[in-house]
Chains A and B, each alone.
Chain A
Amino acid sequence: DVKVTQSSRYLVKRTGEKVFLECVQDMDHENMFWYRQDPGLGLRLIYFSYDVKMKEKGDIPEGYSVSREKKERFSLILESASTNQTSMYLCASSLAKGGVGSYNEQFFGPGTRLTVL
């Protein structure tokens, strides 16, 4: 079974703090993703990575950065947390096979509920 784990289920931080959210997958997937989930807005892609040290901006990258130094680990960084970054953060991974137009199921972690005070 694919397993995607996230470092914390709940996190409370103060405005201005630097926040690290960690995600680890154990199935040797090439692709990894960070989303935020907000009521009424669904899932919005923050960043994704298709290889070690590679990253692509998603739909809402402002205020976030990412790091992928190892294939199994993808970190989301909030350089200076703000109250509007209070949200549920979901990490996902997928296997890359085939080229453009191919698809592989995304496997999700349990999520980290971040509250910024």
Chain B
Amino acid sequence: AQSVSQHNHHVILSEAASLELGCNYSYGGTVNLFWYVQYPGQHLQLLLKYFSGDPLVKGIKGFEAEFIKSKFSFNLRKPSVQWSDTAEYFCAVSSGGYQKVTFGTGTKLQVIP
């Protein structure tokens, strides 16, 4: 069965600091990888996804993630965070039919102005 690990449960950064959130998955076959974000009081929404091709994917609001197959990782990065990036971030993986997705436990990011 597929699983997802997010190493950081709670991250606190000052504005303009760089961000990297770790995500590792366990599945040996072809995977689709995602980062979802949940801003306070809002719906969960897709930040970016990797399906195939270039392992460096860019998402909304300046976020990017790199798929490293040999490390089973899909870390999320942003060079300079803003207060508005305060949210909970979920890594997720899909590897089967019917688009079943397994989510990680989430990382709460707090950006201090």
Binding site for B on A (CB under 8 A): 4, 31, 33, 35, 40-45, 48, 50, 56, 58-59, 90, 92, 94, 96, 99-106, 108-111
List 14 additional A-B contacts (Cβ < 8 Å) besides A42-B104, A42-B105, A101-B96. Answer: A31-B99, A42-B106, A43-B103, A50-B98, A90-B44, A100-B96, A100-B97, A103-B49, A104-B99, A105-B49, A106-B99, A106-B101, A108-B44, A111-B43
Closest to B4 in A: A42
Cα–Cα, bound, A41→B3 (Å): 12
Cβ < 8 Å to A, chain B residues 22-50: 30, 32, 43-46, 49
B residues bordering A, Cβ < 8 Å?
6, 9, 30, 32, 43-46, 49, 51, 90, 94-106
User: In the assembled complex, how far is the CB of residue B102 from the closest CB belonging to chain A, in whole angstroms?
Assistant: 7
Q: Closest 3 CB pairs between A and B? A: A42-B105, A43-B103, A100-B97
Which residue of A31, A40, A101 is within 8 Å of B105 (Cβ)? A40
Majority SS at the chain A contact face: loop
* Known A101-B30, A103-B32, A110-B43: A43·B90 in contact at CB below 8 Å: yes
Set of chain A residues within 8 Å of B9, measured between Cβ atoms = 40
Q: Which of B45, B99, B102, B104 contacts A103 (CB 8 A)?
A: B99
| Interface of chain B: mostly helix, strand, loop or mixed | mixed
Decide: B43 and A48 in contact? CB cutoff 8 A.
no
Q: A96–B99 contact, CB under 8 A? A: yes
Q: Which of A4, A33, A105 has the most CB of B within 10 A?
A: A105
Instruction: Indicate the member of B45, B98, B102, B103 with the most A CB atoms within 10 Å.
Output: B98
Tell me the nearest residue of chain A to B46, going by C-beta: A105
Known: A48-B98, A103-B49. A108 touches B32 (CB 8 A): no
Contact A45 B100 (CB under 8 A): yes
**C-alpha gap A4/B98 in the complex (Å):** 19
| Cβ contact within 8 Å between A108 and B94 | no
Q: Are A108 and B99 in contact (CB under 8 A)?
A: no
Some 22 contacts from A to B, beta carbons below 8 A apart, are A31-B99, A40-B9, A42-B6, A42-B103, A42-B105, A43-B103, A45-B100, A56-B98, A58-B100, A59-B102, A92-B44, A94-B99, A96-B98, A96-B99, A99-B97, A100-B96, A100-B97, A101-B30, A101-B32, A101-B97, A103-B32, A109-B43
